[in-house]
C-alpha cells in the first residue's frame, strides 16, 4: 500500500478529492481542468496520453499502458468526467468541496457517478506498475465528456473515429451502480432511451363551448394508452421477483405543453415521454404500437422523435465469453457476490457494445446507498479504497486473457 497522504489520509483518497473539486458540472463543465489533471497523472505514471477533440471543446483523453503483445486486442477502461447539476441548498456540504466527515464519508457531486471509478483505474494501474507488472494486452483508460447529456458529443462521436479503431478494444469496463447490499451489481446490457413528443392538433374556439375534436381530447387518449402500458409493465415487474427494473420497459410523462389563455381552446397541445425500452423488446413492433396509439386517438395526432437508440446489445455472462470468465473468476476468488443485471438507464456502454466490443458496467461500491444524481451524493473512503484493490485483481486477469480468434 502507498504511504499515508495529507494529514494521515491515504494518497489515493487525496487524489480522488482533488479530482472531485474540478467543476465538470453541466451546463458549463470545466473540461480543460479535467484534461490538465489527467495529463499530469499520465506524466507521473509514465503512460501515453492522447487527446482526441471529437467536437469543439469536447476532448476524449486516452491514457495508455502498452502490453507486451501489441497484436492482441486491448482492455478499455472507460469513465466519464462530467457530472450532473446540483441544488446546493439541499446539500449538507458544498458539493464541490469534497468534504470528508469524521466517519470517512466523502460528500461531492461525482463521488458515485463516476469520478471514483476513474481514480480507481488510475490508482490500480499506479500500484501494478510500481510492483513491476507487465501484461500481454494493452490497457487504455478513456476519460470522456458529455455522458450525462447523452454522450452525443462524447463517446457517440469517438467510436466513429479512426483513433477509437486504433485502440483495438477487445473488451471494456464502464460504469455500474452502487449496491446497498453485500452483493455487487454488474450490468451486461441496458435499456434503450426513446424520447418521443406526441403532438395533437384539433379545433380551437371559445372556452365556454363544447367544441368537438379538440387537441386536448385526442392527446388525452394517447396519454391514457401510454400510461395504461406503463401500469402493465410496472405490474409485470412487481409480480415477478426474478425480474430486475432493467428487464421491463419503463415510461414517464415528462412534459405537457400547450394553451394560450384560460378561455381559449388550443389548436395544438403536446406530451413528451421518456421510454426506456428493455433489450429483448421487438423494436419495430414497439414503434408500430406507438403509431397505432396515435392513430386510435384521431386525426392530427403525430409522433416526433427526440432520441431513439436502436442497437441494444447484450454481453454474454456465461463462461463461453472468456472476458466474463476472467471477470467472474476474480470476483469468485475475492468472494464477491455478483448480481448480473440489465442497466435501467443509459450509459456510454451502449456505444461501445454497438461497435461489437463486449462491455460490462461495474462500479465496485457495495454496502452503499444509490445516490447518483441525488442530493448529498457521497462515498465512504473505505469503499473507494476497496474498489482499487478489486481493480488490482481485475485488470491483470483481463489484460492477460489468452489470445482469442477475434484477436487475429
Q: Active-site positions?
A: 82, 147
Q: What's the number of CA atoms in the CB half-sphere (13 Å) around residue 204?
A: 11
Q: How far apart are CA 362 and CA 117, in angstroms?
A: 9
Q: Shortest CA distance to 391 belongs to which of 136, 130, 124?
A: 124
**What letters, b where the CB count within 10 A reaches 16 and e where it falls short, cover 208-243?**
eeebeebbebbbebbbebbeebbeeeeeebeeeeee
Give the integer Cα–Cα distance in Å for 256 and 273: 9
Peptide bond into 27 cis (omega under 30): yes
8 A C-beta contact, residue 288 and residue 296: no
Cα dist. 85→175, 290, 340 in Å? Answer: 19, 32, 29
Task: State the Cα–Cα distance between residues 254 and 272, nearest whole angstrom.
Answer: 6
**123, 63 in Cβ contact below 8 A?**
no
Per the CB < 8 A criterion, the answer to whether 39 and 122 are in contact is: no
Distance CA 257, CA 272 (A): 9
d(C-alpha 109, C-alpha 373), whole Å:
8
How many residues are given for the chain?
408
CA 117 to chain centroid: 12
Beta-carbon contacts of 405 under 8 Å, excluding residues fewer than 6 positions away, are: none
Q: Which residue has the cell 482533488?
A: 18
With CA atoms as reference, report the closest residue to 271 among 325, 196, 336.
Answer: 196
The helix-helix angle for 215-239 and 283-297 (nearest 10°) equals 140
Q: What distances in angstroms separate CA 39 from CA 17, 21, 24, one per listed residue?
A: 17, 16, 16
**Nearest to 352, CA basis, from 71, 74, 9, 111:** 74
Amino acid at each position: 500500500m502507498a504511504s499515508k497522504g495529507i494529514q494521515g489520509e491515504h494518497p489515493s483518497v487525496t487524489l480522488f478529492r482533488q479530482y472531485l473539486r474540478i467543476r465538470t458540472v453541466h451546463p458549463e463543465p470545466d473540461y480543460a481542468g479535467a484534461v490538465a489533471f489527467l495529463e499530469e497523472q499520465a506524466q507521473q505514471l509514465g503512460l501515453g496520453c492522447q487527446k482526441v477533440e471529437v467536437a469543439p471543446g469536447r476532448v476524449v483523453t486516452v491514457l495508455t499502458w502498452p502490453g507486451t503483445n501489441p497484436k492482441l486486442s486491448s482492455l478499455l477502461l472507460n469513465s466519464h468526467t462530467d457530472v450532473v447539476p446540483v441544488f446546493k441548498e439541499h446539500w449538507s456540504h458544498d458539493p464541490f468541496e469534497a468534504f470528508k466527515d469524521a466517519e470517512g464519508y466523502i460528500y461531492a457531486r461525482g463521488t458515485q457517478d463516476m469520478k471514483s471509478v476513474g481514480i480507481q483505474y488510475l490508482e490500480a494501474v499506479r500500484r501494478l506498475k510500481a510492483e513491476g507488472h507487465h501484461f500481454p494486452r494493452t490497457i487504455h483508460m478513456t476519460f470522456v465528456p458529455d455522458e450525462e447529456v447523452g454522450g452525443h458529443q462524447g463517446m457517440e462521436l469517438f467510436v466513429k473515429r479512426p483513433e477509437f479503431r486504433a485502440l483495438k478494444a477487445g473488451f471494456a469496463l464502464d460504469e455500474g451502480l452502487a449496491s446497498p447490499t453485500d452483493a455487487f451489481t454488474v450490468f451486461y446490457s441496458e435499456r434503450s432511451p426513446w424520447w418521443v413528443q406526441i403532438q395533437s392538433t384539433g379545433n380551437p374556439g371559445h372556452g365556454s363551448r363544447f367544441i368537438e375534436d379538440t387537441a386536448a381530447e385526442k392527446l388525452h387518449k394517447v396519454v391514457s394508452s401510454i400510461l395504461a402500458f406503463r401500469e402493465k409493465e410496472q405490474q409485470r415487474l412487481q409480480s415477478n421477483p426474478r425480474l430486475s427494473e432493467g428487464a421491463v420497459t419503463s415510461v414517464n410523462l415528462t412534459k405537457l405543453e400547450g394553451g394560450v389563455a384560460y378561455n381559449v381552446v388550443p389548436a395544438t397541445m403536446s406530451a413528451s415521454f421518456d421510454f426506456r425500452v428493455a433489450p429483448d423488446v421487438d423494436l419495430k413492433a414497439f414503434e408500430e404500437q406507438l403509431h397505432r396509439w396515435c392513430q386510435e386517438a384521431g386525426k392530427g395526432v403525430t409522433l416526433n422523435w427526440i432520441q431513439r437508440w436502436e442497437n441494444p446489445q447484450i454481453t454474454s455472462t456465461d463462461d463461453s465469453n472468456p472476458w466474463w470468465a476472467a471477470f467472474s473468476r476474480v470476483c469468485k476468488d475475492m468472494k464477491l457476490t455478483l448480481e448480473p443485471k440489465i442497466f435501467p438507464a443509459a450509459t456510454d456502454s451502449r456505444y461501445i457494445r454497438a461497435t461489437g466490443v463486449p462491455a460490462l458496467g461495474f462500479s465496485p461500491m457495495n454496502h452503499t446507498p444509490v445516490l447518483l444524481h441525488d442530493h448529498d451524493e457521497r462515498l465512504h473512503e473505505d469503499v473507494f479504497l476497496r474498489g482499487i484493490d478489486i481493480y488490482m485483481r481485475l485488470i491483470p486477469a483481463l489484460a492477460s486473457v489468452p489470445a482469442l480468434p477475434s484477436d487475429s
